[in-house]
Structure 1
Amino acid sequence: MNSSILRTMARLLASLLLMASLYLLWRGHNAPGGGFAGGIMAAAAFVLMSVAFEPMAGWRATRVSPLVLIPLGLAIALASAFAGVAAGDGFMAGQWVTVDVGGEVKLGTPLLFDAGVYLVVIGVALAVIIPLMGEEE
């Protein structure tokens, strides 16, 4: 498409969608959301960039190939699943650490698992959708 309005709004909306996707990722292990919902929203931001500019614009905007995000996300999710075994608990047992950053923040393996799912969803969505968009004529 060749619309300056679409391109301007796409930049703004993509930024907002990415921030909202990170919020969904962060809140997802305690509230509705999580890695899948956040990943879909982030993928939508990158697809929006592809629609507004050119098909590969969303792919390039990730800074890392979506084909790298998929195995990276799987590795992170698997590592979180085996963290419980390494700590002497069961498979996928939650492990938690409290970090003081002006207030107590609990970080744990469920968030790590969600981060892995987030990366896999972005990678798969972009690897499937962007090639289907084809080249500009």
Structure 2
Amino acid sequence: MNSVIFRFTAPYLTSLMLLFSVFVLLRGHNEPGGGFIGGLVAASAIAIYGLAGGVASVRRALYFDPMTLAAVGLIMAVLAGCASFVAGMPFLSGLWSFPAMLDGFAISTPLFFDIGVYLVVLGAVSSIALTLAESEDA
């Protein structure tokens, strides 16, 4: 895209969208949202950044390969489901812990499952978008 305004505002818009995606991820346990929608918002932020600066700038900005993020997310989601086996419960049963140092904030297997889904969606959609953009440039 050749718009100077879009290229200037895209990094700020991307940052806001990534922050909003984390908000949607964390609020998804009690209200609408969660890992899937948060991952889609984050992948949309990466796509906007790619439209403004090109695929090469996105590849430079990402610390990890998108498919690596998807793989880590899949492993995290499966491990969150398997944690219930340790407690003698069925697969994907929710377990909660309330550490005193977190002052009422619960650490739970659904949270880790949602983070895993977030990473899978972010990695897969970003990888698809970047691959399509690279093939279009060639």
Q: What TM-score does the superposition give when structure 1 sets the normalisation length?
A: 0.91
How far apart, in 1, do the equivalents of 2:125 and 2:102 lie?
A: 37
Q: Per the alignment, do residues 59 and 101 of structure 1 end up closer, same or farther by CA in structure 2, a change over 3 Å counting?
A: farther
1:1-137 to structure 2, matched below 5 A, reads: 1-100=1-100, 103-134=103-134, 136=137
How far apart, in 2, do the equivalents of 1:4 and 1:109 lie?
A: 45
Q: Is the 8 A contact 1:55 1:136 kept in 2?
A: no
Residue 29 (structure 1) shift: 1.6
Q: What TM-score does the superposition give when structure 2 sets the normalisation length?
A: 0.91
Higher strand share: 1
Higher helix share: 2
* Pairwise CA RMSD: 1.7
How far apart, in 2, do the equivalents of 1:30 and 1:36 lie?
A: 15
Q: Is the 8 A contact 1:59 1:126 kept in 2?
A: no
Aligned length: 137
How far apart, in 2, do the equivalents of 1:13 and 1:42 lie?
A: 11
Q: Is the 8 A contact 1:46 1:61 kept in 2?
A: no
Moved over 6 A (4+): none
- Which 10-residue stretch deviates more, 110-119 or 49-58? 49-58
After superposition, give the CA deviation of every residue in 1:96-133 in whole Å (9 maximum; x if it has no partner).
Answer: 11134573111201010000000000111011111111
State the one-letter code of the partner of 1:120.
Answer: V
1:105 is paired with a residue whose SS is coil
Residue 30 (structure 1) shift: 1.5
Give aligned-pair identity as a percent. Answer: 39
State the one-letter code of the partner of 2:125.
Answer: A
Residue 47 (structure 1) shift: 0.6
User: What 5-or-longer segments of structure 2 have no aligned partner?
Assistant: none
